[in-house]
Copies of this chain bind each other. A is one copy, B any other.
Amino acid sequence: MDKRSCAELIQQRLALEPAGRTLRTTLYLSIRQLVLDGALPSGAPLPPTRVLADALGVGRSTLVRVYAQLRSEGYLHSRGGSATLVSETPPVSLPTADRIDHATPSAALSQRGQDITRHAASSRIQGGAFVPGVPDVSLFPFPTWRRLLAKNVRYEQRHLARYSQGGYGPLKVALAEYLRVSRMMVCAPQQILILNGSHQAIDLCARMLCDPGDRVWMEDPGYWGARNVLRASGLSLAPVPVDAEGINPPDRTDAAPRLIFVSPSSQYPTGVVMSLARRRRLLSLAEIHDAWIIEDDYDNEITQNPHPLGALFGQSPGRRVLYLGTFSKVMFPGLRLAYLVVPEQLAEPFSVGNAELYREGRMIEQAALAEFLDGGHLSAHLKRMRSVYQERREVLHTSIESRLGDLVSTTDGLAGLQLPYFFRDQTDDVALAREALEAGIVFRPLSMYYDNLQHYRAGMVLGFAAVPTEDIDIAAARLCTLVERAFSHP
């Protein structure tokens, strides 16, 4: 597609937009929709703002702002000094329209296949204010990573190009040291598995430790992704409420859990830190029920908590905890590298299971990552990001509090990437999220994080980490207007 036909396309699309919006919004929505529809395909060059401004008869400064917004949201990107290209952006489905039964070719799919699609909750939108759970990749030290990767893509390093079994040794040594220092965890490198992301780690635990029908206690609200992975392995999910001390499991139960999935350092999405008393109760219940615990520590390095607690892994005398860490939040999500630290007696069978189920490789990336850790690059990056995220969190928090006051409340948690807000009443957060999306603001409704829909709370989870500090207040203002309106016209 050339720039001329691109301008024509935009002009045609503009004509379809309803009146009553500002020119800037109309332009923004039109171009975005063309990208989302695939009408402007990935890689297509957009006309320079000057040319398009002339063609459309609009002011150039408006277009400059629209391009900037679309760039910051990831729909467009720049190449060289001037060219603006369409980014790879798959079609949007509302992040919230997922509890609806899909009228897909259901007969073709298995029961569990249908379950997986019915409960689908991952969002196709991964940029813009306020997508939760996403770090700011624009501040990542790409030159360093490029150098370390390139260093390991060489004939001399060709052994790294093979299948592997058990992961890259020096990375596991570096990780054991990193965990010892940062998490007070004592573990041998042999207890560490390197995996393609947290979902694979959870999947491996589900299959190695649980049989179909086994019960798993899940934090409610909690991480929807884990729920779906565990359900796909036939596990029966038992939502357990979360309060200000973290998960609050029942002392007695008729159906003992086989697995317990928790995020003690920074509960997702509430950010609550599990208290010591609660940790002990949980560990003791795990003993009583003969259950395993997965500790999802996705956020520990970036949480703003001034006194981070040690990992649950190190607090379990019965060694019933499997510790799950990820590089998605501290480096970049597309890396797809996570790690699982298992109790000694599980090290061998998990290593075998991992090789059988997924086959291993990616030693080039693992070697680069080991050097990234050993060279202190991760620490340096984290130090920087923590202060950036802290500032963004404060700007967003102030912006929301000052505008919404007691319409919303939050927790004492200090999660590193997002802020949870509970609505004062049960205003329809899914409808609100849909409305916000039309206004160019993305958030996840809090109700979506609940499995037990008898006891959910409406609200919104706002990711601030990937939003440039200077854009936060404007976007928050737009969002708050919508929230206020929803409250006044329920």
The residues of A with any CB-CB pair to B shorter than 8 Å are 21-22, 25, 28-29, 36, 41-43, 68-69, 71-75, 77-79, 87-90, 92-95, 99, 102-105, 108-113, 116-117, 119-124, 126-127, 134, 137-138, 140, 142, 145-146, 149-150, 153-166, 168-170, 180-181, 184, 186, 196-200, 203, 207-212, 214, 225, 228-229, 232, 234, 258, 275-277, 280-281, 283-284, 287-288, 290, 292, 306-310, 317-320, 328, 332-336, 345-346, 348-349, 352-353, 355-364
Contacts and interface: CB of A to CB of B under 8 A. Distances in A.
B90 A166 contact: yes
Given A159-B74, A310-B73, A352-B117, A42 B169 contact: yes
A332 B152 CA distance: 14
29 contacts: A42-B170, A43-B169, A69-B184, A72-B309, A74-B159, A74-B162, A74-B275, A87-B276, A88-B164, A90-B169, A90-B281, A93-B284, A99-B318, A104-B345, A110-B207, A110-B208, A116-B356, A116-B357, A117-B349, A117-B356, A122-B355, A161-B334, A196-B358, A197-B359, A200-B358, A207-B232, A212-B234, A229-B356, A336-B361
A302 to B, nearest CB: 16
A94 B138 CA distance: 47
A11 B363 CA distance: 32
Q: Which 8 A/B pairs are nearest by Cβ-Cβ distance?
A: A72-B307, A74-B276, A334-B361, A113-B208, A161-B332, A90-B166, A146-B153, A137-B161
Copies in the complex: 2
A146 B156 contact: no
Contacts of A360: 336
Nearest to A42: B169
A285 to B, nearest CB: 9
A108 B361 contact: no
Contacts of A28: 184, 310
B280 A92 contact: yes
A356 B197 CA distance: 12
